[in-house]
Structure 1
Amino acid sequence: MKNNFSDPLTKMDPLGYGSGTGSNFSFAYDNAAFSDRILTIQIVPNSKSDGEGCSSTAGDLDRKRKRRREETSKQNDADVLTQHKDKVLNCTMLDTEVLAYENQDEEAVAMAEESSSRVEMTTDHPAALSVKTIRISSAILAAQSPFFYKLFSNGMRESESEKQLVTVQIYASEEAAFVKLLQFMYSNTLSTIPATAMLDVLMAADKFEVASCMRHCSRLLLNLPMTCELASLFLNLPSSVSIADAVQPLLDAAKQFLAAHFKDITKFQVEVLNLPIAGFEAVLCNDDLQVASEDVVYDFVLKWARTHYPNLEERREILGSRLCHLIRFPYMTCSKLRKVLTCNDFDPELASKNVLGALFFKAEAPHRQRLLVAEEGNASCSSFVERAYKFRPIKVLNFELPFQQCIVYLDLNRQECNNLFPAGRIYSEAFHLGGQGFYLSARCNMDQQNSFHWFGMFLSMQEQGLETFTVDFDFAALTTLSEDYVSRFKGSHTFTRGKGVGFRNLVGIPWTTFIAQGSVYFINGVLRLRAVLTARQ
């Protein structure tokens, strides 16, 4: 009699299994009247790496998922045994590939000798902790799962009077999830269970190729209140599960939650350092990450890598393959970039490549920089996109002859300037002149009569270093009316530690006029400032 099943692998989208009618056949579950097969579930002990017991706590589930990823390349995804009378043929399933053989002793024995880890002819299973049987309908299971379709339609040549016994071997930790999966295949619904148990069902659905159950689990999990622990578990799913389209919304939600929750990583240093690599990547890919400067991100990446990968060779590999692209080298300070070149954690060739790329970007004209940012616009984590740094990036040109001098360029967009009103400040990254540290600040302040708000610019000396330091300074701004920077305030000042000098009204017009649309000081929405500083020691 010809098989009534048409091949779903060629006629159906694999993700379309079980999604057509949504019919409820729960009445047929384990019901002899509606079953044509008997499914024997052999429950074997967990692998040694799983340890003792099968706790369902989130922490244990997290560890279990890590171990399962490591075991994927070492062991089979499922052991399917087709039992004919007294003999059992153990056919290993690798992902969606089914190695099924007819019941021929010679062929099975030959295969067993060739690869004892894949096919084994045996008549008993002393390793099984327990054996359970469930009456099943091959039509219902095959309609839901390519795994069961191939199992039922490959090599089964029994007379109609003989009951075919199909045996599936699972780990003890998978028992509850597998039974829930079978029930779903009949009813297209799941009872209320904890999130960790739902994740187990999700992985079982992936293992036995029940795409409709994967989508159902994903939807239910998406409706749960997201937590850091839950997001970490989602991102720590085995790779075979995480690449499935049905699970992608779950992973996206977890990444968005972690990125928003750990927006200010300096407040959650311990928590972020304990995140799995997928969660860590999600946090540092955030363009709105609140950090003082990109130097902080660089130090944080190194600290995470040294914590999780104490072996230097492994650390270099993970930095090069997964973490290096998280660091936006073009926005690091030059002093920090020098340290990258001598950092032993990075492969020297990789370090040189990133530092040179950063320096070339810094040297580009603003329109070329914007073009580079636009070219990487679709990248998930662009190295050229500027974050919302607490200390604004600057460009610095240093000269040693005929005297020590530096030219500092500071750009602020309109939104950053808007945020300064009515009494805000924004600081630049630190830079050095004559070995002494300085920084610029932009402010919104009142005039001495408290009549108007103005835009001001100041230069301050860091507290570390010399007691006093004399500097000639010239503050300038670029306008739409000129082709070059126009000097707005100049002078000479002897700095003491932590003190500064500046001008409350740099542009000479009230704040409302300065910030208004059409202001001559904003070119393509950007205020461009320059400070020329000369040491007089």
Structure 2
Amino acid sequence: MVSAPVLRVKTIYINSVVLAANSPFFLKIFSNGMKESDQRHITLRIADSGTEETVMMEILSFMYTGKLTTTEPNLLLDILMAADKFEVLACMRHCNQLLTNLPMTRESALLYLDYPCSTSVAAEIRHLTDAAKEFLASKYKTVPNREKTHLFHLAGQDFFLIAFCQMHEQSKAYSFGLCVEKIEMPKGPTCLTVDFELAARTRSSGKFVTRFQDKHTGDDWMLGCADLFEVPWSTFITNDNLFIDGVLHLRADLRVGVVAQPGLET
């Protein structure tokens, strides 16, 4: 296996006592018996992405000053992950506090929910992910209140197509739902049989892809699916395959028939 070439070498002068006092990870490295304890030069190899170097320098600086120079959420999460790796617990707590104090936005909420982190970091920022879910639910709470977005007429009956945001009781996760509701006519209920299909256009195929099918017979109903795309809300609203130029294209196909009732003229 060929190792990656060393593109740049930076020498940093550090005090092993300071690092060991702030991190059990470095305490082990500098303890007697470890090969690094007798070395004056310790090599730390990091990716040449720029971000990893910035993160490492922030952590080293924190161990000396107790401060970080950034308040950018993505970088703070990266520092939190690295601080967890190097067991710099005070830095983890500081990152957590800075993130907690930042205003919640759509971008930061999605970042907290989708950030690929370790189990320990996930537990550390659990309050942030919970707050992000509440924020998104509140921000898009108008979705379930968009009453009867499209009115259409079939087989002598009026129908409404309704989009909504559904919260699942057990997981407390939110998802996108779509349904069709029949409006009761003044002359009284009419028994209908309905073949029902919901579809969404995808960017990858350019075509409408069936997401839900059902069949119902009755005189009073609302037919649809509470989790049309079977993904969490945060994944749904950032899915570029579904949102084409920011627009979600949906289609509802209904085949409606009136069921003859005994004793009534049809």
Report TM bin, short chain: 0.5 to 0.7
What residue in structure 2 maps to residue 136 of structure 1?
Answer: 14
Q: Deviations over 1:39-63 (max 9, x none)?
A: xxxxxxxxxxxxxxxxxxxxxxxxx
Once the two structures are TM-superposed, the CA of residue 240 in structure 1 deviates from its matched residue by 1.2
**Alignment CA distance shift 1:156-1:221 (3 Å):** same
Paired amino acid for 2:125: V
How many percent of aligned residue pairs carry the same amino acid? Answer: 39
Larger Rg: 1
Q: Are 2:81 and 2:117, in contact at CA under 8 Å, matched by a contact in 1?
A: no
Paired amino acid for 2:69: S
* Paired residue secondary structure (1:133): coil
> Structure 1 residue aligned with 2:133, among 252, 255, 263?
255
- Specify every segment of 5 or more residues in structure 2 that has no aligned partner in the other structure, as ranges: 147-165, 181-196, 205-211, 223-253
Pairing 1:220-299 to 2, within 5 Å after superposition: 220-240=98-118, 243-263=121-141, 285-286=171-172, 291=177
Once the two structures are TM-superposed, the CA of residue 214 in structure 1 deviates from its matched residue by 1.8
**Alignment CA distance shift 1:137-1:255 (3 Å):** same
1:170 aligns with 2:80: no
**Alignment CA distance shift 1:463-1:195 (3 Å):** same
Q: Are 1:226 and 1:257, in contact at CA under 8 Å, matched by a contact in 2?
A: yes
Once the two structures are TM-superposed, the CA of residue 291 in structure 1 deviates from its matched residue by 4.9
Q: Deviations over 1:280-322 (max 9, x none)?
A: xx9664488785669xxxx99x979x989xxxxxxxxxxxxxx
Distance 2:67 2:36 in 1: 33
1:219 aligns with 2:97: yes
**Alignment CA distance shift 1:290-1:172 (3 Å):** closer
Higher-RCO chain (CA-CA 8 Å, sequence separation at least 6): 2
Q: Give the helix-richer structure, 1 or 2.
A: 1
> RMSD between aligned alpha carbons?
4.5
Distance 1:432 1:471 in 2: 16
Q: Are 1:177 and 1:200, in contact at CA under 8 Å, matched by a contact in 2?
A: yes
> Structure 2 residue aligned with 1:206, among 84, 109, 114?
84
Paired amino acid for 1:227: T
Q: Deviations over 1:330-368 (max 9, x none)?
A: xx9xx84x8xxxxxxxxxxxxxxxxxxxxxxxxxxxxxx
Distance 1:289 1:176 in 2: 37
Pairing 1:496-511 to 2, within 5 Å after superposition: none
Q: Are 2:59 and 2:83, in contact at CA under 8 Å, matched by a contact in 1?
A: yes
Once the two structures are TM-superposed, the CA of residue 181 in structure 1 deviates from its matched residue by 0.9
Q: Are 1:222 and 1:250, in contact at CA under 8 Å, matched by a contact in 2?
A: yes
Distance 1:264 1:139 in 2: 56
Paired amino acid for 1:196: N
Q: Deviations over 1:399-445 (max 9, x none)?
A: xxxxxxxxxxxxxxxxxxxxxxxxxxxxxxxx524xxx5449xxxxx
Distance 2:200 2:145 in 1: 16
TM-score, with normalisation over the residues of structure 2? 0.54
TM-score, with normalisation over the residues of structure 1? 0.29
Q: Are 1:263 and 1:283, in contact at CA under 8 Å, matched by a contact in 2?
A: no
Distance 1:130 1:470 in 2: 84
What residue in structure 2 maps to residue 194 of structure 1?
Answer: 72
Q: Are 1:234 and 1:254, in contact at CA under 8 Å, matched by a contact in 2?
A: yes
1:465 aligns with 2:257: yes
Once the two structures are TM-superposed, the CA of residue 172 in structure 1 deviates from its matched residue by 2.3
Q: Are 1:231 and 1:257, in contact at CA under 8 Å, matched by a contact in 2?
A: yes
Once the two structures are TM-superposed, the CA of residue 203 in structure 1 deviates from its matched residue by 2.2
Pairing 1:454-533 to 2, within 5 Å after superposition: 464-466=256-258, 470=261
Paired amino acid for 1:248: R
**Alignment CA distance shift 1:154-1:127 (3 Å):** farther
Q: Are 1:180 and 1:190, in contact at CA under 8 Å, matched by a contact in 2?
A: yes
> Structure 2 residue aligned with 1:432, among 192, 217, 227?
217
Distance 2:120 2:142 in 1: 27
* Paired residue secondary structure (2:75): helix
